[in-house]
Every structure is written in structure tokens, then in C-alpha cells.
Amino acid sequence: METTATILGATGLIGGHILERLKNEATFDEIRIISRRSLEIDHPKVKVVVIDFEDEAQFKAAIDGSTVVFCAIGTTQKKVKGDKKLYRKIDFDIPVNAAQHCVKFGCKQFLIVSSLGADSKKRGFYLKLKGEVEDALKEKVHSPVGLDSLSIFRPSLLLGDRSDNRFAEGIMQLFGKVLKFLIPKNAKPIEGRTVAKAMVEVAKLNKKGVEVYHYQEMQDVV
């Protein structure tokens, strides 16, 4: 039986590293990238599916046949120009809808990049939203016909080169590297490639139920 790893957010820091790792993983026969725009990727295992994420039929068809879904999709206030409704469409609607389509088509394993401090009870927009996503996904596990395995990764500051220029984040990365020894364990900055490697390794374990991975758990699994 063929296995298909599907990636949401393959053009981002973590998603890009997930893609590179999966190319060399014999565990998966096909790598499916779901994207809103065409991508030039020349690899025999990689298939790019271009969709409108708001088109339910297209989204369902793109998820159908997946064995495991990696969700590393996300935006920034700068990209959405401060539009919180648009921000929510990307960071909440896409992963939650993807998980719902997984349930429909029998894909039992879902892995997602969240954030340190994610909590739906918080007042701040970003961490509250990430917590709401986590809560919605957990409901898919507790459903009788839901997901078997939900893995949530909560990195703090991400280290690594991004395609978009984030000057302030670059400064934070520099200080994070220098002062890493002073930072509490779970809040330590972590390389995007380390998060990606941890996600791929956890996917191969296919643990049942909900598992949450912070800095040390991600380091331990790689």
C-alpha cells in the first residue's frame, strides 16, 4: 500500500525543511504539496496540487489519499496588512479544515506547527488564535471517527533563513543565539530544520492520541 505525506506550507521555513527530509525518506512513496500557487519542484516523489483553499471541493480532493498531513502553514501581520480576519482564514481555517478533510477520507495522522504559549484563554491575538487551533484539532481526535494521532509542535523563536525579509526577527535570532544559555529550556530558540526533523521522526512513530512537543521533546526525538 502506497503512503502519501501531504505538506501544507511547504514554502515556509519549517515546511521547506520537511519537504527536503521527506525526499530522502523511504517511508513515504509520494510527497504531495498543497499550495495556492504553482511551484517548480523537480523530484520524482513530489506532486504539487494548486488549489483555492476556500474551495471546499478542491481542498477535499487535495487531501484525499493522504496517509499523514504535515501542517506548517502560517502568515504574519505584515503579510495580511493587519487584517485579522484574513490572518484567521490562513492560520485557523486552513489547518482545521484540513484536519476535517483528513477525518472524512480516513487519514488518521496530523502534525502541526503551533507556538510556545499557545492558549485559547489568552488575550493576545496570536497566542489565543494558536490555542484555538489546537483546541479545534483536539476535538477531531476525541471524535469517535476522528484522527488517531495529533502531534503539536510548539517552538519558540525559530532560527534559520526565510524567503521573506524579517529584520526585527533577524535581530531577535542574533540575540537568541548569543543569550541562549540564559533562556528557560522550553523558550530556547530552535532551528527550523530541527523542528522539521522532529516532525518527520514523530510521523514515523505514529503515536496514538495527542502529543505536544516543546524544545526538549523535539531535541530528544531527533
Which residue ranges form the domains of the chain, and what is each CATH number?
4-221 (3.40.50.720)
pLDDT in tens, 51-104: 999 999 999 999 999 999 999 999 999 999 999 999 999 999 999 999 999 999
3-state helix, strand, coil in the chain (%, to 5): 45, 20, 40
**Integer angstrom CA distances of residue 66 from 24, 195, 221:** 18, 21, 24
Cβ-based neighbours of 207, under 8 Å, separated by 6 or more: 149, 151
pLDDT at 30 over 60: yes
The pLDDT, as a whole number, for residue 209 is 96
Q: Is the pTM of this model over 0.75?
A: yes
pLDDT at 178 over 60: no
**Integer angstrom CA distances of residue 159 from 77, 90, 138, 180, 189:** 19, 22, 28, 12, 7
Chain mean pLDDT for the chain: 92
pLDDT at 20 over 60: yes
pLDDT in tens, 126-161: 999 999 999 999 999 987 889 999 999 999 999 987
Task: State the amino acid at position 192 in one-letter form.
Answer: G
Residue in 114, 23, 113, 102 with CA at minimum distance from that of residue 66: 102
